[in-house]
Chain A
Amino acid sequence: MIPVWMFLLLLVGATGFAWGSPANGNDREQGSILNLPADPISFQPGPGNDLASRYCLMCHSAEYVYTQPPHPREHWIEIVNKMNASFGCPISDEDMTPLVDYLVTQNSLQPSPSAQHVQRDDLKETPGQSSTQSGDPQKGKTLYGRHCVTCHGPDGKGDGPIGQALVPPAANLTLLGKQSDQTILDTLRNGRPGTAMPAWKNDLNALELNHLLSFLRTLSP
């Protein structure tokens, strides 16, 4: 929830009045807020898809890959090496080949998914239906191991191999106690724009998110 004073300022910015009017001593009328949309697409299913989600979504959206023209394999190796050496994408040696294979395959898709690609059927939400089905913490644990552990760590303390190298660092998920189910599900679906926390709504369906939620509930005392 944003305070009204911030909103007022955005209004000022948006409608074109000069800001910071020196004569105006009212401090509370200044400030702005930027709500950016969550990623519209993620990586398509296929072998290596989990590697791409894990390694490539922390810094930018999957559109970075899908808007690329057809590139030869060497270009993809160069791109991934640049992500690693120049930008700090922590790819392990054994993941390199399957990851590049996946990117090359995705790059050859015709037509390539755009931000309006058709959603996988199981990701379409029927409001109030699947989201009321309660999750299974065991299944959640498996999903967590596949998608979350590199950042949030085995016990959810935010101490995964990548977690502490992020700004802000990966959250400590043992401290979620006070947050409502709805708040947590919202974070999972939409991620946290401006941080490395990806939006999962294009990768996981409502039931899978419920599995994760019930697993996360086992982490906090």
Chain B
Amino acid sequence: MNEREPGIDRRQLLKGSLALGMASLLTPRVLRANDSSTVTLPFERGRRPLVAFPQKRPLMVMTTRPPQLETPFHIFNEDIFTPNDAFFVRWHLANIPREIDINTFRLTIRGRVKQSLTLGLHELQTQFEQVEIAAVCQCAGNSRGFFQPRVPGGQWGNGAMGNANWKGVRLRDLLQRAGIERDAVQVRFDGLDQPVAQATPDFRKSMSLPDALQAEMLVAHSMNGEALPLLNGFPLRLVVPGWYATYWVKMLNDIEVLNQADQNFWTSQAYRLPANPCHCVDPGDALTDTVPIGKMPVRSFITSLENGGTIPGGERCTIKGIAFDQGHGIDRVLFSVDGGQQWQSARLGKDFGDFSFRPWEAQFIPKPGHTYALQSLAINRIGESQRFGARWNPSGYLRNVVESVKIHAS
């Protein structure tokens, strides 16, 4: 190959598309890496080029190798289900398989089980009940760039999240088919991605057996009615509704039932929170006790307006947004135009399930020449609300403070 370009080899593209007469369907996806613009996130070092990676529209590049791509925020205003080609991308290790042959691909279920299973995709699709669930997948470090003081780690804005309709088989059905041994305590998940140096721990994640047996946990083969994009974990991805994306292992090919707590780096040392109820510490304080990160606290966002924007004064203005939590479901969203002094109820939109984004809307009439601090506050069905003051921890996890969007009325 003489010219390495992201996307599909052009000559192959031509051949294939002529053969199938589908050139128009595919051409928009073959964008060059260098004809792009940028988005600047509102924090230092926030400049992100927009580049189209394979099967993706131009997304904000945090890093190219391994790829970490953020969804531009306006996308969340356009669709409650984040389109596959706009869905954020986050890999830890650079050795991501370039090819997957779905005929030879196998998922194994092994370890403390009565009978190990080795399943092809066809078997997964035909021998088990097919289940669908709408769920938000949010990176543990989503919004890390907004931490003050700033912390190391991937400097995401708010776009390291997405909502999709996932379809696949229940993890529990797979585990039960294999038969769980009595001494089993945890389940560990591994995908096809590999480190480039032997000394780097392979990326694996584990959870307790009771968690793994929850009905909503899926091994998904499709996302919004299509095969998963490679960068989102084709051909199989663990779907862990309500939990942070670090558990949603991509290119999943190995499920191992353990009879002791996993010692793997990525569960035992990385992705840890301070072990106190707030999961926060004062900046500079050392972490002593830690617990693994797990479920997502409730959040909401205004999606229809950008911070610093202008709206016409004297006219009724409709504000749109989204809210989500870890699966209790959204009970109420409150909306404020004065930085949180007075609140009105927002109107909730269609309910796509407890793990999905929930759309909401509110209205107000801005006075010409005034500046407003718009805020939204979501409360879930067990009464948990967003925080008014941002919590801080050294890894930049769990941000769910009430966000503010400053708007000027012309």
B199 touches A87 (CB 8 A): yes
CB distance from A160 to the nearest CB of B (A): 13
In the complex, what residue of chain A is closest to B54 when comparing beta carbons?
A34
Given the known A-B contacts A12-B227, A40-B49, A116-B49, are A34 and B97 also in contact in the complex, defined by CB atoms under 8 Å? yes
Interface residue A30 (Cβ < 8 Å from any Cβ of B): yes
B51 touches A37 (CB 8 A): yes
Interface residue A118 (Cβ < 8 Å from any Cβ of B): no
Interface residue A196 (Cβ < 8 Å from any Cβ of B): yes
Residue of A8, A61, A195 with highest tally of chain B CB at under 10 A: A61
Q: Which residues of chain A come closer than 8 Å to B29, judged between CB atoms? A: 14
B126 touches A111 (CB 8 A): no
Q: Which residues of chain A come closer than 8 Å to B63, judged between CB atoms? A: 60-61, 63-64, 67
Q: Which residues of chain B come closer than 8 Å to A64, judged between CB atoms? A: 63
CB distance from B126 to the nearest CB of A (A): 6
| Residue among B6, B25, B95, B194 making CB contact with A35, cutoff 8 Å | B6
Q: Which residues of chain B come closer than 8 Å to A161, judged between CB atoms? A: none
CA distance A115 to B36 in the complex (A): 11
Tell which of B7-15, B73-81, B308-316, B363-371 binds the partner.
B7-15
CA distance A88 to B270 in the complex (A): 15
Interface residue B342 (Cβ < 8 Å from any Cβ of A): no
| Residue among A15, A71, A87 making CB contact with B200, cutoff 8 Å | A87
CA distance A20 to B7 in the complex (A): 22
B222 touches A18 (CB 8 A): yes
Given the known A-B contacts A7-B16, A60-B66, are A35 and B8 also in contact in the complex, defined by CB atoms under 8 Å? yes
| A148-180, CB < 8 A from B | 162, 165-167
CA distance A59 to B231 in the complex (A): 18
B95 touches A32 (CB 8 A): no
CA distance A80 to B8 in the complex (A): 36
| B133-155, CB < 8 A from A | 145, 150, 152, 154-155
Interface residue A75 (Cβ < 8 Å from any Cβ of B): yes
- Chain A: interface size category: 35 or more
| Residue among A16, A70, A162 making CB contact with B44, cutoff 8 Å | A70
| A1-42, CB < 8 A from B | 1-2, 4, 6-16, 18-20, 22, 27, 30-40
A194 touches B95 (CB 8 A): yes
In the complex, what residue of chain A is closest to B150 when comparing beta carbons?
A69
| B1-32, CB < 8 A from A | 1-2, 4-9, 12-13, 15-17, 19-20, 22, 25-26, 29
Tell which of B100-108, B168-176, B397-405 binds the partner.
B100-108
| Residue among A75, A89, A111 making CB contact with B152, cutoff 8 Å | A75
Interface residue A96 (Cβ < 8 Å from any Cβ of B): no
CA distance A69 to B154 in the complex (A): 10
B4 touches A190 (CB 8 A): yes
- 1/0 per position for B231-265, CB-CB distance to A under 8 A? 10011000000000000000000000000000001
Interface residue B96 (Cβ < 8 Å from any Cβ of A): yes
Q: Which residues of chain A come closer than 8 Å to B17, judged between CB atoms? A: 11
In the complex, what residue of chain A is closest to B98 when comparing beta carbons?
A34
A13 touches B200 (CB 8 A): no
Q: Which residues of chain B come closer than 8 Å to A88, judged between CB atoms? A: 197-200
| Residue among A8, A13, A30, A60 making CB contact with B101, cutoff 8 Å | A30
CA distance A122 to B137 in the complex (A): 44
CA distance A168 to B44 in the complex (A): 37
B26 touches A36 (CB 8 A): no
A59 touches B197 (CB 8 A): yes
Q: Which residues of chain A come closer than 8 Å to B1, judged between CB atoms? A: 1, 186
Residue of B1, B231, B269 with highest tally of chain A CB at under 10 A: B1
Closest 7 CB pairs of A and B: A88-B199, A69-B150, A16-B226, A37-B6, A61-B65, A30-B102, A37-B33
Residues of B in contact with A (beta carbons under 8 Å apart): 1-2, 4-9, 12-13, 15-17, 19-20, 22, 25-26, 29, 33, 36, 38, 43-45, 47-49, 51, 53-55, 61-67, 93-103, 121-122, 125-126, 145, 150, 152, 154-155, 194-201, 222, 225-227, 229-231, 234-235, 265, 269-270
A-B contact pairs, 24 of them (CB 8 A): A2-B9, A4-B16, A7-B12, A7-B13, A8-B16, A10-B8, A11-B17, A16-B227, A31-B99, A32-B102, A34-B230, A34-B231, A36-B6, A37-B53, A40-B64, A58-B197, A63-B62, A63-B64, A86-B201, A86-B270, A88-B197, A116-B36, A194-B97, A195-B95
